[in-house]
Chains A and B, each alone.
Chain A
């Protein structure tokens, strides 16, 4: 008996996957570029190994080298990959198939790429079992339904008959995960499986993944750029930077006692919920990730490290075990751990500068509606149908302050921005900017209004015209709005570049020579060139890495303090919005659900939707206590929104028929805090706060 138990325990300790000194390189036109260098880690049975790092750090390359999907120009230069004790490197495709069998499964970011759009879910799932395990169809389908039940898919028998496009993104990802689990894999590799999903959906999928290793006893390699997600799902965490694993530790140690300067820096970059705007510093890591073609000769983090000493430039530090199970690649890890971090003085001053409190409306939106005409599904039906993207929204933006607009995809926040800026024509309602009516498209607006309202865009790769130099793109609005005389344009561009913390040597660069964060800063400089009163920011940091995101957010804050610009900040990330905004509007399906100051939104009374959103946000602190509120079902179509309260189909606090029949009233919770809900305020006030942070020995800024 005891012997058997011992054997089981041994088996549990045997790593399913052991990667030793792995190095991978890609061939390019300019020669071979190292993508991964000397990476070692192991994943045990029933354990989730979270691998976190910024884009381009090589985390996906590690995953691809395990399954031998490196593509024609990638190859493993050195190192070994043991899967269940067998080395996978250097074997032929056939041997690999034999060794791996179907014991390694992979889940990717985009579920639509893993599912065949022309086959029903049932057919593609059953096929896995029929091909790999030789089951009969009926038996295979039975097993598939069981598996869908185990990933908490509602109504699995019905889902089996559907096509992938008939499922929502979260459901698709569940199907992919269920499919991956069908063969009972020993190792499940998940590469950013929730990155494309909305927060509330993401939360549900993360719950599922966290439950997987208990139910299935699988080893999971979980790859993500999001520290909050990693904190929620992982047992062990590895931090990758520029192709190397710089730190590896159990999850609580990593988040509470990070030893590598990079890990510490990363954690300081993330906005945390539950802290107020003025005390939640974001401290960006200076500089940028070195290009893989020009890596520093010593420690790869040395050029950006605050603790760097001359020794760091000579030779790469050893990857060594500092405490039990805590590995780090730094010469001075022990000292770094103890040293408190002192943020630069001017940064602190910038943060503490008090925001203006008087409320002078710059933009007034009243009962605004923007409908799109939708094609009729019937050939001979002449009745027009409308997508109600923005439906009866009333908001105000105050001078020098930030209005944050949050909501999941499809809630109409981007349409609202496009309507304000004049790219979309409002169907009904009032729209006033600096006292002028602006219900006309941008081409018909006065130059003065155009000049005073500019926009920052989401995607750093398409925000700049690739054909022109940075200087020219910033100079164009200066020229158009005649901000400065012609001969001073160059000087003004350089002044703007310096305001964005970019040197004058950026003037002649082309967009492709810039990193994502730099492109975004140039985009901000371009928007600010005309010295606008109001700048609309549509998800300006959602495509950026955390360290870069922090720098851009700080920059926006700094600029607002310096120039007194009014900002409208649109985002899906509640922690980012919290950090930047004075006022926040929460949108759902074209309507504003709650409006108030940032403090009011993040504390009770909550609108039930706000409550669900807050409880879904992944927090990069394994000890944070968060209420567990999960939304059922999917967002209804804006073509035919539910009657009464739009949120009633998914609301966990639904009262009854009144929510389905009557539009809720705007309840005033005091000081301009408005909640669009039937539930009496007294009741909403009784709700406990969603997030409780224990901040005793977390990294603090002194």
Chain B
């Protein structure tokens, strides 16, 4: 049997080709593109924080309190005369780009992202183990997670932060703990489907170890839905950070926190300067909506030509 070479162009897609294919998928969906633009705006702005604003987020100007938008302060100032744009930008940085651990030391990647990642690691492991092994192990894991899910989300956040105290690391933990049951359920349901495939039988027949089957054979095939779910979860996490900040359980002041900015600013809404509360609210909404649009668009587009 002769193989006709010309019928098979180069087999392995290069990185660029794969990037182009994924962009093609994104490009096909208006929803995803709008979402991507909104999210990318905040990522770029947060990355370039020192260059997109000339003010420090904590620099107070007692000459200019509660001002509206102007040439000096693009979005205005808050009650302590701090530049709102600058605070938003550095607030985005904490959410997306870097996690302050102590005054001097901070981790790369923001609080919300760390929270979701940690939740993904724990949740995926539990979901994989429960879904693949089944039986009483699955029963124990799932009932414990059900018990956690029985608590209202906000209450659960408040209990956790109240117990361990407000700090960036503790917010990460809270987001991870609250996110875990949902991720575990999703991964478990995907695993239940994937474990019936014959390539899993082939791995078992080969005598593969449990961890290999879970993380090498099953996990990569569940990654698509997990990724889309993670985007939605990142949105929820940002929303949760806003809520915690609003309730005074977020990052300790004076670090820029969108939630606490809304909380502080709302006292001046009726006094005629709504800017300090409005802008951070818009920021939270745009980032969360952007992530949601991105996730929805991707999901629709990947399912269209099935």
* Residues of A in contact with B (beta carbons under 8 Å apart): 28-29, 284, 286-287, 290, 294, 303, 421-423, 442-443, 445, 447, 450, 453-455, 457-459, 462-469, 473, 476-477, 480, 501-503, 505-509, 513, 523, 526-527, 551
Contacts and interface: CB of A to CB of B under 8 A. Distances in A.
B205 A450 contact: yes
Interface stretch (B123-131, B156-164, B195-203): B195-203
Contact of A508 (B12, B207, B220, B304): B12
Given A463-B198, A466-B221, A286 B2 contact: yes
Contacts of A467: 220-221, 223
B59 interface: no
B207 A450 contact: yes
A387 to B, nearest CB: 18
Given A505-B5, A506-B11, 10 more contacts: A284-B1, A286-B2, A294-B7, A442-B205, A447-B207, A457-B202, A462-B197, A465-B217, A467-B220, A480-B208
A501 B1 contact: yes
A465 B217 CA distance: 7
B11 A422 contact: no
Nearest to B196: A462
22 contacts: A29-B28, A284-B1, A294-B7, A442-B204, A442-B205, A442-B207, A447-B207, A450-B205, A453-B205, A454-B205, A462-B198, A463-B202, A465-B220, A465-B221, A467-B223, A476-B206, A501-B1, A505-B8, A508-B11, A508-B12, A527-B202, A551-B1
Nearest to A503: B3
Given A467-B221, A506-B11, A286 B202 contact: no
B297 to A, nearest CB: 15
Interface string B46-71: 00000000000000000000000000
B4 interface: yes
A506 B3 CA distance: 11
B268 to A, nearest CB: 52
Contacts of A480: 206-208
B11 A505 contact: yes
A463 B206 CA distance: 13
Contacts of A523: 202
Contacts of B221: 465-467
A468 B219 CA distance: 12
Contact of A286 (B1, B5, B199, B205): B1
B15 interface: no
A287 B305 contact: no
Nearest to A291: B7
A238 to B, nearest CB: 27
Interface string B1-36: 111110110011000000000001000100000000
Contacts of A505: 3, 5, 8, 11
B198 A458 contact: yes
B4 A303 contact: yes
Nearest to A536: B205
Residue of B12, B197, B204, B206 with most chain A CB atoms under a 10 A cut-off: B206
A437 to B, nearest CB: 17
Contacts of A465: 199, 217, 220-221
Contacts of B3: 502-503, 505
Contact of A423 (B5, B204, B220, B305): B204
Residue of A453, A454, A457, A551 with most chain B CB atoms under a 10 A cut-off: A457
B207 A526 contact: no
A509 B11 contact: yes
Nearest to B219: A467
A526 B202 contact: yes
A480 B207 CA distance: 9
B204 A28 contact: no
A235 to B, nearest CB: 36
Contacts of A443: 204, 207
A242 B3 CA distance: 19
Given A423-B201, A450-B205, A466-B221, A28 B4 contact: no
Contacts of B305: 28-29
Nearest to B12: A508
A97 B196 CA distance: 43
Interface residues of B, number: 27
Contacts of A473: 199
A453 B205 CA distance: 8
Contacts of A294: 7
Contact of B205 (A28, A455, A469, A503): A455
Give the top 10 A-B pairs by smallest Cβ distance, nearest first: A467-B220, A508-B12, A457-B198, A462-B197, A450-B207, A465-B199, A462-B198, A509-B11, A463-B198, A508-B11
Contacts of A284: 1
A450 B201 contact: no
A386 B204 CA distance: 25
A268 to B, nearest CB: 15
A445 B2 CA distance: 41
A527 B12 CA distance: 24
A440 to B, nearest CB: 12
A457 B11 CA distance: 25
Contacts of B11: 505-509, 513
A540 to B, nearest CB: 11
A25 to B, nearest CB: 15
B217 to A, nearest CB: 6
A455 B1 contact: no
Nearest to A460: B198
Contacts of A506: 11
A622 to B, nearest CB: 31
Contacts of B223: 467
A15 B35 CA distance: 57
Interface string B265-301: 0000000000000000000000000000000000000
A445 B207 contact: yes
A468 B202 CA distance: 14
A506 B198 CA distance: 21
A242 to B, nearest CB: 14
Contacts of A502: 3
Contact of B199 (A290, A453, A462): A462
A30 B284 CA distance: 37
Contact of B201 (A28, A286, A457): A457
A459 B198 contact: yes
Contacts of A466: 221
A442 B202 CA distance: 11
Residue of A447, A505, A506 with most chain B CB atoms under a 10 A cut-off: A505
B92 to A, nearest CB: 34
A423 B200 CA distance: 11
A455 B201 contact: yes
A647 to B, nearest CB: 31
Given A303-B4, A513-B11, A464 B199 contact: yes
Contacts of A421: 205
Nearest to B221: A467
Contacts of B206: 450, 454, 476-477, 480
A294 B220 CA distance: 31
Residue of A28, A453, A462 with most chain B CB atoms under a 10 A cut-off: A462
A287 B2 CA distance: 7
Contacts of A442: 204-205, 207
Contacts of A513: 11
B8 to A, nearest CB: 6
A651 B204 CA distance: 40
A357 B191 CA distance: 46
Contacts of B28: 29
A573 B230 CA distance: 47
A28 B24 CA distance: 13
Contacts of B5: 505
A266 to B, nearest CB: 17
Interface in B215-247: 217, 220-221, 223
Residue of B8, B197, B205, B223 with most chain A CB atoms under a 10 A cut-off: B205
B203 to A, nearest CB: 8
A527 B202 CA distance: 8
Nearest to A507: B11
Interface in B57-106: none
